[in-house]
Amino acid sequence: MGDNSAQVVIVGAGHAGGSVAAFLRQYGWQGPVTLLGAEPTPPYQRPPLSKAWLKGEGEFADLLLRPAGFYQANRIDLRLSCRVTAIDRSARTVNLASGEHVAYEHLILATGCHARALRIPGRELAGTFELRTLADADRLRTVLRPGALIAIIGAGYIGLEVAASARALGAEVVVIERESRVLPRVASVPLGEFFQRRHTEAGVRIILNAAVEAFEGPVGHGNEPENVSWFFVDPDDYRLEIEARYPTQQQAAAVVARGKEGRNAHMGLYGGDDVKKGNGR
Ligand SMILES: Cc1cc2nc3c(=O)[nH]c(=O)nc-3n(C[C@H](O)[C@H](O)[C@H](O)COP(=O)(O)OP(=O)(O)OC[C@H]3O[C@@H](n4cnc5c(N)ncnc54)[C@H](O)[C@@H]3O)c2cc1C
């Protein structure tokens, strides 16, 4: 990038995109810098989303990578809720979902990643949450309260962090992991055992070797569960159900998990006073 007065366009206003825009200015880039982000929020830090922010701690300003006024003050044209749909390399433009085109001399792609979608039946049901963005965290926050019963699929770092945050807020938590140990891809066996012990001591129920196959329940978002309960139905079949109670008391959602390799597991039964108890349907 020899000529430092050319137009730079950065696609993705996350940690990487926000940082590169700031560093361009810090190291003397004089030309126009445009930062295009699909989310409605200026560049922010995701790590607190599963920790302090989820627990209701900290201010919005603490999440931001740089103060809100930073971009204007540094002549960075930050454009939010602005999704790039195509790059035209011969014309040196990017196309926006709005139909607009933005010209560039230098293009930086900082589009990060998405949460890996769980492509199983019922994933569109009310009461199911994904955690990647601030909007996801805010939505999840509304159901984490004392007595709520929460199932978390995936015992990676983020799953376990959410488990700890939910426990800190008084929720009952079960973590379902398809592998034979927690943090299977990212931690050594002794470290995984340490974390499993700590979470279990904190009251998190961990189910291993169980791959979730489906969510069952009423269709549609927008009707958040009042409480989420779960119970282990049939250890022989390794079948787990998670039931959500809604304000109307008429709707329910369930998660069905089946064990890998026919292994059995014996789990306790948890629930609030009016949660279905017993050993099956
Ligand atoms: C809940 C949670 C907790 C985490 N905790 C930790 C932690 O404790 N420690 C740690 O090291 N890491 C943690 N991470 C990971 C860390 O947040 C990521 O590594 C980091 O966000 C990566 O930054 P990025 O800018 O590369 O990508 P992203 O944060 O994914 O940002 C990319 C941005 O590009 C935007 N974008 C994508 N496509 C387009 C498009 N076509 N047009 C316009 N914009 C687009 C996206 O909307 C997004 O805002 C955590 C992540 C999450 C979700």
- How many angstroms is it from 261 CA to the middle of ligand 1? 35
Report the percent of the chain where pLDDT is more than 70: 75
* Per-residue pLDDT reduced to its tens digit, 5-37: 899 999 999 999 999 999 999 999 999 999 999
- How many angstroms is it from 158 CA to the middle of ligand 1? 13
Nearest to 102 by CA among 110, 91, 112: 91
Q: How far apart are the C-alpha atoms of 184 and 100, rounded to whole Å?
A: 44
For ligand 1, atom 14: residue with the closest CA? 47
pTM of structure = 0.83
Model confidence at 262, pLDDT cuts 50, 70, 90, reads very low
Q: What is the pLDDT of residue 281?
A: 23
Q: What is the pLDDT of residue 178?
A: 82
Give the CATH H-level superfamily of domain 134-262: FAD/NAD(P)-binding domain (3.50.50.60)
Q: What is the pLDDT of residue 82?
A: 97
Q: What is the pLDDT of residue 145?
A: 83
Give 8-109's CATH code, choosing from 1.10.3090.10, 2.60.34.10, 3.50.50.60, 1.10.760.10.
3.50.50.60
> What mean pLDDT do residues 61-85 have?
97
Q: How many residues does the chain have?
A: 281
> What mean pLDDT do residues 51-71 have?
95
Given a cut of 60, is residue 184 above it in pLDDT? yes
Tell me if 112 CB under 6 Å of ligand 1: yes
Tell me which of 118 and 84 has the higher pLDDT: 84
Strands (E), the chain: 8-11, 33-36, 76-79, 84-88, 93-96, 101-103, 106-109, 149-153, 172-176, 205-207, 210-216, 227-234, 239-245, 254-259
**Atom number in ligand 1 closest to CA 39:** 47
* Per-residue pLDDT reduced to its tens digit, 126-146: 677 888 999 999 988 888 888
Model confidence at 149, pLDDT cuts 50, 70, 90, reads confident
Model confidence at 232, pLDDT cuts 50, 70, 90, reads very low
The preferred substitution site among 111, 138, 144, 165 for testing ligand 1, maximizing ligand atoms within 8 Å of CB, is 111
Q: What is the pLDDT of residue 221?
A: 45
User: What residue ranges of the chain are covered by domains with CATH 3.50.50.60?
Assistant: 8-109, 134-262
Q: What is the pLDDT of residue 217?
A: 56
> What mean pLDDT do residues 236-254 have?
46
Q: How far apart are the C-alpha atoms of 254 and 243, rounded to whole Å?
A: 5
Report the percent of the chain where pLDDT is more than 90: 53
- Say if residues 226 and 243 touch (Cβ distance below 8 Å): no
- How many angstroms is it from 3 CA to the middle of ligand 1? 30
Q: How far apart are the C-alpha atoms of 235 and 230, rounded to whole Å?
A: 14
> What mean pLDDT do residues 169-192 have?
91
H or E segment to which residue 160 belongs: helix 157-168
For ligand 1, atom 41: residue with the closest CA? 84
For ligand 1, atom 53: residue with the closest CA? 132
Strands (E), 123-251: 149-153, 172-176, 205-207, 210-216, 227-234, 239-245
- How many angstroms is it from 11 CA to the middle of ligand 1? 13
Tell me if 132 CB under 6 Å of ligand 1: yes
Model confidence at 2, pLDDT cuts 50, 70, 90, reads low
- How many angstroms is it from 164 CA to the middle of ligand 1? 21
Model confidence at 242, pLDDT cuts 50, 70, 90, reads low
In angstroms, the Cα distances linking 94 to 78, 107, 192 are 15, 9, 44
